Structure 1
Amino acid sequence: MHCTKCGAELAHPGQGHACRSSTPPPALRTAGWNVATWFVVGFAILLALAAMAAAVLGSTPSGRARPLPPSGAGAAIGFVLANLILIAAFIGLAVSGLIWGRGTRQLAEAHGSSGRSYSRHWGIRVFSSCVVFSTVMAWLASDRTAPAVLFGQAGLRTLGAAALIGGVLHSRARVLRLIAHVDRVVAGHDPAWPLSPTPTSDDWNAGQWDPDVLRDIEARRNRHRT
C-alpha cells in the first residue's frame, strides 16, 4: 500500500507520514551503505568459520584420555588464534552492524518509509537468540571443553551467522526496491501513480477534466451568482 500523493509505502490506510508530494527525495549516497552491508556479511562468514575452527581444534585429542583443548604447540596456537578471530569477528560485526543499521534507516526514511522495519530484521533476532543459547550451553555444561559442547556452540553460532546474512540481504533487497519504486513515482513512470510530477498545458485544459468536477464547478459558480 502506498500514498496516492507521493508513493510512500504505508503499513495501513491513513498512516501518518512526511508526504513528499512530487518532490524527489534527497540524494543519499548508497556506496557507504553497500560497503557496510558487505562488511556485515564478511564478518558473519568469518565468525562462522572461526567458530567451527575453534570447535575442531578444541576437540583435538591430546595425550590424555579424553578430548581437551590441545596441549601441543601447533594445535594450542591454532585454538587460541581461532578464539581471537572469533572475538574480533563479534566486535567487527557489532560495529559494522550499527553502521549498516543507521544507513538503512536513513535511506528508508528518506524515501518515505519506516526505517525500523528495514533495519530491525528477522536475522538479528535469530542471531541474538543463537548467541545467547550458545553462551547458556557453555555456562550449564559441566565440561566446557567437551566436543559436544564445542560443536554445539559452533553450530548455533554458524546458524545465527547464516540467519544474519539472510536478514541483511533481504533488507537490502527491500530497500533497493523501495528506492526504485520512489524513483519511478517521482519520474512519473509508475502505473500506480500515472500523474506526471511536472505540470503541463493539458493540466489546465478544462475540457479534459472529469465531467463531475466540471458540473460541481458550474453549480458553485451559479450559487455564487445568485
Structure 2
Amino acid sequence: MYSRVGPRFQNPRGGAAPQRRPFVSTTDRSCARRHAIRARRNPPARHPRTRRPADQRPDPRHRRALCERRRPPVRAILFDKTPATNWALGWHQDRTIVVRNRRDTSGYGPWTVKAGLHHVGPPFAIIDAMLTLRIHLDDVPENNAPLLVAPGSHRLGRLPEHDIVATVERLGTLACLATRGDVWAYATPILHASAASTTSAHRRVLQVDYSASTLPDGLLWRGI
C-alpha cells in the first residue's frame, strides 16, 4: 500500500488555495527509509523498469489510518544526501523502534544506542502496524537516489535475511520518484533500498514514523 500527496496546490485565480484531499493510490506500491550516514534523528521542528505486482489491493489498515489521523508520530529522521555525504543502502526491512529509556522486556531486543537514542527490536507485529511518511524537501528524479521498494513485500511478515534478495527478484522493484513537496506514505515493513546519488544536488527527506500501538511494561515511545 502506498499513497502520494502532490506539491502544494496553487490557485491560478489567486486567493486562498482550496483544500485538496491526498491522492491515495489503488495500486500496491510502497516506499521507505533507514538509519544512514547523513541522518538527524528526531530533528527539530512509474518507473519503466518496474514490474507491476500481481496483487494490487491497498492495505486497508494503513489507508484508514492515513485518512483518519489515528496514529501519533513516534520517530522522525532527516536525511541529507550531498556530493560530500553520499551513500547507498542495500535491501532490508526496518525492524527497530526508538523508546525513551531502556527497560528489559520480554520479546523486545536486541538493544542498541544510536545518536544517544535507545533503539530496540520489538515483536514484528508492532512494526507491521506502523505507517511512515516520507516528505521530500528536494526533487528526487531517477538520478538523485530515489527510494526503491519491493511492492507487496510489506504483506510477507518478517523476512529472513537470506530470503530478501530472492523476494525482491520475485516481486520486482519500484523507484519512488518525487518532486519537492511530494509526500509518500507507506507501510513501514516494506522491503526497501537506495542507491547513491549521481547528481550535485541535495536530496533532503524528512521521514516520520507513526504508530497507534501501546508498548508494554513501562516502555514508552520516544516520540517527536
What band does the TM-score fall into relative to the shorter chain? under 0.3
Structure showing the higher helix proportion among its residues: 1
Higher Rg: 1
Which structure has more RCO (C-alpha within 8 Å, separation ≥ 6)?
2
Structure showing the higher strand proportion among its residues: 2
